[in-house]
Amino acid sequence: MKRRFILMSIIFLSSGFYLRSFSQVMEPVPRDGIYDKINTPERKPIPYVSLREADVVWSTRIWRMIDLRQKMNLPFYYPENPHNGWRNFTTVIMDALKEGTITAYENNPTNEFTEPITYEQIDKRLNKVDTFDLPSPDPPYDLVRTPIQIKFNSQDVKMLRVKEDWFFDKQRSQMDVRIIGICLVKYDTVKRGYEPLFWLYYPEIRNVLAKAEVFNRFNDAERRTYEDIFWKRMFDSYVEKEKNVYDRKIDAYARGLDALLESERIQNSLFEFEHDLWEF
């Protein structure tokens, strides 16, 4: 009887230790919310309507700038630190480049996707050691060449340059627009100017953007994605360039208020063209 009691005690203690160990290993991470978010990770971009060359009776190419610091564009710029599946646009792109899901292309004068660059090349450019002439902390405070580590932060990207084609499809009798590429533009604190980083082929990155949440200040249950923002044109921008024989930007022939008015003129001409098509 005593032996049976000792045997049962050993089995009980062993099973309790096993259950505790198993619970420690298999205990799930606490859910930060009231339900599991499964819709966004499985989202796919809306497929484009089939388009033939014969259906396009008119088209023009536009380059526009999206300032991420504008109030309407803040969902692109924040959050500073990723959390709860929420990342800013730059972080989404850099993570996808690191994983090898998408491809970056060199910024060239023609803005064409001809020179692919790797994530390692991009990382080397953004995170580097540079030397500057800084005053010495000791007398006589002469200028000394000092190395400084420059680290990239997603908040350094202030602008997005968008290349898009506006066209009229006679098959559907509809004016439409499709984004061709997006270029990340960083503010260089050393040079005190804006520096284009690299181009992204938009049709390739749509799958990534369709799975990345964007903050919706009207309804937290209906989290949009970056693909939704571009598809529905829910951003504020200004025209930087329209395709022209001189291949020049607006700031090459207009300054200040004149440049702003020229940008508005190009934008209005697109809507007036569509309006005139249906004027009887």
Q: Of residues 266 and 150, which shows the higher confidence score?
A: 266
Chain centroid to Cα 213, Å, comes to 11
Place of tokens 């799975």: 211
* Across 250-261, average pLDDT: 94
Give the mean pLDDT of the chain. 86
- What is the predicted pLDDT for the residue at 223? 79
- What is the predicted pLDDT for the residue at 19? 45
- What is the predicted pLDDT for the residue at 21? 47
User: How would DSSP label each residue in the chain?
Assistant: -HHHHHHHHHHHHHHHHHHHHHHHHHPPPPPSSSS---TGGG--PPPPPP--GGGEEEEEEEEEEEETTSGGGHHHH--SS-BTTB--HHHHHHHHHHHTSS-EE---TT--S--EE-HHHHHHHHSEEEEEEEE-SSTT--EEEEEEEE---GGGEEEEEEEEEEEEETTTTEEEEEEEEEEEEEEETTTTEEEEEEEEEHHHHHHHHTTSEE--SS-TTS-EEHHHHHHTT-S--EEEEE--TT---GGGT--HHHHHHHHHHHHHHHHHHHHHHT--
> With bands split at pLDDT 50, 70 and 90, how would you rate the model's confidence at 3?
low
On whether the CB atoms of residues 89 and 102 are closer than 8 A, the answer is no
Q: How far apart are CA 224 and CA 203, in angstroms?
A: 19
Q: Of residues 36 and 209, which shows the higher confidence score?
A: 209
Q: How far apart are CA 249 and CA 94, in angstroms?
A: 28
Q: Is the pLDDT of residue 18 over 60?
A: no
CB-based burial of residue 223 (10 Å sphere; 0-12 exposed, 13-18 middle, 19+ buried)?
A: middle
On whether the CB atoms of residues 202 and 180 are closer than 8 A, the answer is yes
- What is the predicted pLDDT for the residue at 27? 62
**Beta-ladder partners of 150:** 128
> With bands split at pLDDT 50, 70 and 90, how would you rate the model's confidence at 5?
low
pLDDT tens digits for 139-189?
A: 777 777 777 777 889 999 999 999 999 999 999 999 999 999 999 999 887
- What is the predicted pLDDT for the residue at 15? 53
* Across 189-206, average pLDDT: 91
Kindly report the pTM of this predicted structure: 0.82
User: Which amino acid is residue 56, in one-letter code?
Assistant: V
